[in-house]
Amino acid sequence: MERFEAIIVGAGYAGMAAAAQMPGRELLVIERYDSIVQKRRGSLGFLFPFGEQVEVRGNDLYLNGLELLVESGVRQAFRHIQIRGNRERFDLALRDPLLLINEGRLKGALLRRIRENGTRVKVGSAVREVDTDGREVTVRTSTEYSSRILLGADGVGSVVARSLRFRRDKLAILFQREVELSHLDIPADTLYLQIDDSRNLFFAFPVGDHFQASVIQIVADREVPEDLEMKLIDKVERLGGGRLLAGRNAVVRLFSPASTSYRSNVLLTGDALATYGFATITGALAMGSLAGAAINRFLAGSHYALPEYHDKWRKVSGHTTIERIRYALPILSRIEGDRVDRILKAARRPGQVYAGGANLLWHLPAILWRLFV
């Protein structure tokens, strides 16, 4: 059995950000997929709210917390958001652009950094079981590994979380159907959103020389969605949809907020911990960086590293704001199409400019509250 100082399960944004905080450590990162760079999130992860941890330098990104330059990391900048109901629309002009990230470039830069730091990365290796006695952690794939501490960064369906019985109540299920198209009647700098009711959202945007469109439906746990394919075809046709280039589906289980982020010498980060089961890219990077720093301190003998990580992860990832949406859910769940139209009509203010880019997603609950309540 090979032994390491620390093991990270999951080579997503949170897992690689954590590994980047531990140069010189005997560290193993285990990823179940064969490719780290080509693995994609759904469009939910594409829109990148940037703040203190990220600087935009032309088409490049600079990650302050990791001192890492991501060349050509920006794929698209949106300066307008158009929200539509059935008949009405509401246009938001953004003072700061909202960015679309080149995920391949970002993941490639993170992967190069952790390998330069001496981290061993094992791909195509699914974790089957995790066990700990409080002093040593054992991870079983096709082989066995052990370490002093383990970080579960393996997504919403985390094997680490299930193995150690980290429990969260299931709230709902998010179903997504996404396609790439050769053409849509959407301006080059605009993100298009259409809200049919509280359960259904359609959004589309340009990406270089093509377009992406998605329909999302949220249903109660154990329910099944309506025909997403037909909904998407209808929306796309109304926007002058061109030739279909590619398509994919995603399912995300939405969970109640995590009550704890660690147990003994095992901790969680990223989507495995995030409220509702998914984090923004910046949120995942921030949580991963904080977790990596906490592991470093733990290995150095600190008894406070993991409790302090638990106290801070919500703040650094923006989840204190995101969790406030829960208080609006009983009201938002009553929204239907005609009410959306009435509210959008009342909300229009000619020439009104909204602060976007840096904090748009963090302010989204407040924007939705003004629009729908």
Work out the percent of the chain whose per-residue pLDDT is above 90.
46
Both tokens of 301, joined, read 């003998």
The pTM score is 0.86
Nearest CA to 196 out of 329, 334, 337 is that of 337
pLDDT (average), residues 295-323: 89
Residues in the chain: 373
- What confidence category does residue 99 fall into, taking pLDDT thresholds of 50, 70 and 90? confident
**What's the rounded Cα separation, in Å, for the pair 274 and 283?**
9
- In the chain, the number of structural domains is 2
| 283 and 149 within one domain | yes
Nearest CA to 280 out of 35, 53, 70 is that of 53
Pairing mode, strands 170-181 and 68-70: unpaired
| 48 and 142 within one domain | yes
**What's the rounded Cα separation, in Å, for the pair 178 and 207?**
13
C-alpha angle with apex 320: 315 to 326, nearest 5 degrees? 165
| 267 and 129 within one domain | yes
| 132 and 59 within one domain | yes
Q: How far apart, in Å, are the Cα atoms of 4 and each of 126, 149, 324?
A: 18, 9, 39
Of residues 330 and 208, more confidently modeled: 208
| 184 and 238 within one domain | yes
> Is 96's pLDDT higher than 80?
no
> Is 373's pLDDT higher than 70?
no
With H, G, I as helix, E, B as strand and everything else as coil, classify residue 124. Answer: coil
Give the pLDDT confidence of 333-364 residue by residue, as tens digits: 667 767 777 777 766 655 554 444 444 444 54
Give the pLDDT confidence of 182-227 residue by residue, as tens digits: 999 999 899 999 888 778 889 999 988 899 999 999 888 888 888 8
**What's the rounded Cα separation, in Å, for the pair 263 and 151?**
11
Return the CATH number at 309. Answer: 3.50.50.60
Return the CATH number at 211. Answer: 3.30.9.10
Q: CB of 178 within 8 A of CB of 165? A: no
pLDDT (average), residues 297-304: 95
| 112 and 51 within one domain | yes
Q: Domain residues for 69?
A: 2-73+102-168+259-322
| 249 and 293 within one domain | no
